[in-house]
Amino acid sequence: MSNTELMAEITKVIPNIGAAPDSRITRMTPVSGGCISTAHIVETSDQKYFVKSHTADSFMTKQMCKSMFEAELHGLNALRHTHTIRVPQLFHVGDLSSGAFLILEYIPLTRLRDHHKLGHQLANLHLFEGPSQFGFDSNNYIGSTIQPNGWHDTWVHLLQERLQYQFDRAQFTGHMKNMADKLIRRLTQFFKGLDIRPSLVHGDLWAGNCAADSSGEPVVFDPAVYWGHHEAELSIMRMFGGFTLDFYDAYHERIPRAPGFELRAQIYELYHTVNHYNMFGSGYLDQCQRLLERILQ
């Protein structure tokens, strides 16, 4: 895919998403930071847009590129519908000769400072009432990995499906496979006595996927949404850090910790760690093993 092709496709679309009929691209600036897709700030004579694109490769077909962006669109729209936290507006998902692209609202972002406000907003998101089942309307992606989102009556059944999918991709053998199989069999015991109601979660909320707009309002993006257990949201936030005690204090003012929180947090961290092993390789294998051993001890 060339920038020329991307510019041509964007030019065709922008009159339909709010730009002037004769609007033309005046500048396209690469933006660093994404580990999956390529990103640009696209300036026209009257507006700016944030554009992501992805080219098919040995890991992702052209159709998967498009479905990844369509999943992002559906996820951001689901978050927007709750009116609890700001997300970029979605404008268009389109095809390229060897991939796909996504046009989003351009929001000038700054470093998040009001962690207390983010904590309250995220809790409000998790308290938003939705369906009675766990899952989502379609599968989406956690990084570049498909995330199964079939509807289930219990959270444990969805989590079992998710973990099994990651374990199967990892192709663990020997002691690792035995531990993974044991966790799947014993998973229910870690949730006994909990009344878990479906919460809409961002799904991939590490520090790189949230910021603030020019007024200081928290903004989140690049989701992997589903209706699940609210505690799962906090696992990747703790895993990579970047959120202050003010965030956690504000969050738990509205959603207190339940007994067994720390042990379940390790299960949720395991999900993301195995996914990182599947995406990035053996550097995460020891961490997978340590987590499995701690959970099962």
Q: Is 171 left (phi over 0), alpha (psi -120 to 50) or beta?
A: left
Just list the catalytic residues. 204
234 φ/ψ angles, rounded to the nearest 5 degrees: -80, -15
- DSSP track, 86-97: B-PPEEEEEEET
* Tokens representing residue 120 in the block: 């309250």
* Tokens representing residue 219 in the block: 């903004």
- CB atoms < 10 A from the CB of 33, how many? 6
User: Long-range contacts made by residues 171-174, C-beta under 8 angstroms, separation at least 24?
Assistant: none
Residues of 272-281 as b/e, b for ≥16 C-beta within 10 angstroms?
bbbbbbbbee
**Considering only CA atoms, which of 162, 158, 161, 229 is closest in space to residue 194?**
229
Measured CA to CA, the distance from residue 84 to residue 214 in angstroms comes to 18
44 φ/ψ angles, rounded to the nearest 5 degrees: -115, -175
* Tokens representing residue 170 in the block: 């990892």
- DSSP track, 270-290: HHHHHHHHHHH-GGGHHHHHH
* Tokens representing residue 87 in the block: 């997300």
The SS3 assignment for 21 reads coil
